[in-house]
């Protein structure tokens, strides 16, 4: 299982995700991609297997990831104080990977219906979703039904 974690700014969210995933799913391969070197180094120090920085690293990593994890801003162009480029957001959005997006209400992006939850609880919820998905993948039952989190239905989605 290839998990790509994307983070920006100081890399604090990514650092916590890497540490928790390495503890709870030690056999997974983690690629940490920071929008800047500070974020990348924080995730690498937390135990990521590989690390890279910048727009092209996000684009290339999205091609081979099974799961992409990060704050919801990774799918919103110009978010995270401008560190997410339109090309990064597009690569994440168009990837075939399962996306586990952490709903932070920051940088003028407000997610309606999401209570103001602490960072630790949001990270644990993300880890739980990844563990559910990896367990279903290992048992051969993965697919849309493996995505147990809150799913936003889009026009053209097949019935689940």
Q: Is 151 within a domain?
A: no
Q: Is 45 within a domain?
A: yes
Helix (H) or strand (E) holding 41: helix 37-45
Q: Is 152 within a domain?
A: no
Q: Is 158 within a domain?
A: no
Q: Is 154 within a domain?
A: no
Q: How many domains does the chain have?
A: 1
Q: Is 120 within a domain?
A: yes
- Over residues 24-71, the pLDDT tens digits come to 999 999 999 999 999 999 999 999 999 999 999 999 999 999 999 999
- Over residues 71-106, the pLDDT tens digits come to 999 999 998 888 999 999 999 999 999 999 998 776
State the CATH number of the domain containing residue 45. Answer: 3.40.50.720
- C-alpha span between 9 and 14 (Å, rounded): 10
Q: Is 138 within a domain?
A: yes
Contacts of 126 (CB under 8 A, 6+ apart): 17, 69, 100, 102
- C-alpha span between 92 and 60 (Å, rounded): 10
- Over residues 125-158, the pLDDT tens digits come to 999 999 999 998 887 766 554 444 444 444 444 4
**Crossing angle between the packed helical segments 12-24 and 119-138, to the nearest 10 degrees:** 40
Task: Please give the pLDDT value at position 157.
Answer: 45
Cβ contact 6:112 at 8 Å: no
pTM score: 0.85
- Tokens read off for 10: 């100081």
Backbone angles phi, psi at 104, to 5 degrees: -85, 135
* DSSP state letter for 110: -
Query: Which domain, by its residues, includes 54?
Result: 2-106+114-146
């Amino acid at each position: 299982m290839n998990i790509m974690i994307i983070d920006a700014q100081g890399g604090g969210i990514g650092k916590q995700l890497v540490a928790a995933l390495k503890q709870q799913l030690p056999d997974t391969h983690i690629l940490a991609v920071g929008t800047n070197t500070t974020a990348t180094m924080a995730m690498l120090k937390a135990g990521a297997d590989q690390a890279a920085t910048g727009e092209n690293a996000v684009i290339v990593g999205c091609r081979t990831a099974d799961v992409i994890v990060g704050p919801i801003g990774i799918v919103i162009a110009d978010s995270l104080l401008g560190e997410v480029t339109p090309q990064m957001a597009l690569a994440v959005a168009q990837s075939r990977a399962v996306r586990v997006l952490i709903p932070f209400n920051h940088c003028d992006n407000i997610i309606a219906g999401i209570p103001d939850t602490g960072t630790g609880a949001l990270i644990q919820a993300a880890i739980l979703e990844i563990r559910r998905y990896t367990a279903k993948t290992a048992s051969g039952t993965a697919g849309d039904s493996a995505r147990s989190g809150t799913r936003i239905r889009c026009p053209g989605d097949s019935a689940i």
